[in-house]
Structure 1
Amino acid sequence: MHIIASIRNVLVPVHRAGYPFIAAFFGASIVLGFLWQPLFWLGLILTLWCAYFFRDPERVTPVADHLVISPADGRVSLVGHVTPPVELGLGNEPVLRVSVFMTVFDCHVNRAPMRGRIARIIYREGQFKNAELDKASEVNERNSVVIETPKGEIGVVQIAGLIARRIICWSQQEDRIEAGERFGLIRFGSRLDIYLPGDVRARVAEGQSAYAGETVIAEYGENLKSWPARRD
Structure 2
Amino acid sequence: MTIHREGTATILLVLVALAVINGIIYYFTSAYPAVTWGLLFISLVFWLFIISFFRVPSRVFKADENLVIAPADGKVVVIEETFEAEYFKDKRLQISIFMSPANVHVNRNPIAGEIKLSQYHAGKYLVAWHPKSSTENERHTVVIANKNNEILVRQIAGALARRIVNYMKAGMKVEQNSEMGFIKFGSRVDIYLPVGTKVNVKLNEIVRNGQTVIATLS
Fold equivalence (TM over 0.5)? yes
Where 2:49 maps in the other structure, the secondary structure is helix
Partner of 1:91: 89
CA drift at 1:35: 1.3
CA drift at 1:199: 4.3
Partner of 2:107: 110
Cα separation, 1, equivalents of 2:40 and 2:166: 34
Gaps of 5+ in 1: 1-11, 222-232
AA of the residue aligned to 1:143: H
Where 2:2 maps in the other structure, the secondary structure is coil
Partner of 1:56: 56
CA deviations 1:115-161 (Å, max 9, x no partner) are: 00111111111110110122211111100001112332110000000
Gaps of 5+ in 2: 27-35
Q: Out of 178, 181, 196, which is 1:181 matched to?
A: 178
Q: Within the alignment, does 1:101 sit opposite 2:98 as a pair?
A: yes
Cα separation, 1, equivalents of 2:17 and 2:43: 7
Partner of 1:9: none
CA drift at 1:58: 2.6
- Give 4+ residue runs of structure 1 displaced > 4 Å after superposition: none
Number of corresponding residues: 207
Does the 8 Å contact 1:28/1:43 carry over to 2?
no
Q: Within the alignment, does 1:16 sit opposite 2:5 as a pair?
A: yes
Does the 8 Å contact 1:79/1:96 carry over to 2?
yes
Partner of 1:154: 151
Q: Which moved more, 1:14-23 or 1:36-45?
A: 36-45
Q: Within the alignment, does 1:169 sit opposite 2:166 as a pair?
A: yes
Cα separation, 2, equivalents of 1:220 and 1:194: 13
Cα separation, 2, equivalents of 1:59 and 1:173: 28
RMSD: 1.3
CA drift at 1:24: 1.1
Q: Out of 119, 124, 131, which is 2:121 matched to?
A: 124
Cα separation, 2, equivalents of 1:145 and 1:59: 24
Does the 8 Å contact 2:93/2:196 carry over to 1?
no
Identity %: 36
Cα separation, 2, equivalents of 1:105 and 1:146: 27
Partner of 1:212: 209
Partner of 1:196: 193
TM-score, scaled relative to structure 1: 0.86
Partner of 2:75: 75
TM-score, scaled relative to structure 2: 0.91
AA of the residue aligned to 1:169: N
Does the 8 Å contact 1:25/1:43 carry over to 2?
no
Q: Which moved more, 1:133-142 or 1:36-45?
A: 36-45
Cα separation, 2, equivalents of 1:151 and 1:215: 21
AA of the residue aligned to 2:89: G
Cα separation, 2, equivalents of 1:198 and 1:177: 24
Q: Out of 28, 32, 38, which is 2:17 matched to?
A: 28
Does the 8 Å contact 1:26/1:44 carry over to 2?
no
Where 1:83 maps in the other structure, the secondary structure is strand
CA deviations 1:87-139 (Å, max 9, x no partner) are: 2x2132x2111000000000000000000011111111111011012221111
With over 3 angstroms needed to count, the CA separation of the structure-2 counterparts of 1:198 and 1:82, relative to structure 1, is closer
Where 1:192 maps in the other structure, the secondary structure is strand
Where 2:210 maps in the other structure, the secondary structure is coil
Cα separation, 2, equivalents of 1:117 and 1:43: 44
